[in-house]
Amino acid sequence: MSAKHRHAKNKRYIKKFTSKMREISGFGGGYEQTCRDMVLAGVEWLEKNPNVDPKFKGYKNVFGLILKDNVDAKKLSKVVVGASGGDCTGAMHQAAISHILFIKKNGWKKYVKEMERKGENQ
């Protein structure tokens, strides 16, 4: 793990994941923590930049490959990838962006409620 990555892992975020929230990735450990760090960094960036409107495009039946469709998306992606120390997969990036955009649209409280909800796939 690079020094840059260790620094990203030690960042303190205002918002927190609860112990009841399910995983973003389903892989646990450091992989999951990196996904969560990426989401939290993206959410904090959006809160500091409330007028941005990041747009992404994806491909049907392809996960892990999304295109940044505007300048705001490029800036958000830079923050999100930076939270991983530059060490994330395309799947991690897309999952984090998906969660961040849900939070942007619905708010943190609804996100927590949704992530704490038990479903057939959890």
What is the chain's pLDDT, residue by residue, as a tens digit (122 residues)? 444 444 444 456 678 999 999 999 999 999 999 999 999 999 999 999 999 999 999 988 898 899 898 999 999 999 999 999 999 999 999 999 999 999 999 999 999 999 999 764 54
Is 71 contained in some domain?
Answer: yes
Sign of CA dihedral 50, 104, 96, 54: negative
Is 33 contained in some domain?
Answer: yes
Q: What's the alpha-carbon Rg for the chain, to the nearest Å?
A: 14
Number of structural domains (the chain) is 1
**Residues spanned by the domain of 82:** 23-114
Is 120 contained in some domain?
Answer: no
> Burial code of 21-60, b = ≥16 C-beta within 10 A, e = fewer?
bebbbeeeeebbbbbbbbbbbbbbbbeeeeeeebebeeee
Is 104 contained in some domain?
Answer: yes
Q: Map the chain to HEC letters.
A: CCHHHHHHHCCCCCCCCCCCCCCCCCCCHHHHHHHHHHHHHHHHHHHHCCCCCCCEEEECCEEEEEEECCHHHHHHHHHHHHHCCCCCCHHHHHHHHHHHHHHHHHCHHHHHHHHHCCCCCC
Is 64 contained in some domain?
Answer: yes
What is the per-residue pLDDT for 55?
A: 96
What is the per-residue pLDDT for 21?
A: 96
Is 8 contained in some domain?
Answer: no
Is 122 contained in some domain?
Answer: no
Is 46 contained in some domain?
Answer: yes
What is the per-residue pLDDT for 1?
A: 41
What is the per-residue pLDDT for 97?
A: 98
In degrees, rounded to 5, the angle at the alpha carbon of residue 56 between the alpha carbons of residues 22 and 74 is: 100
Distance of alpha carbon 35 from its chain centroid, rounded?
A: 6
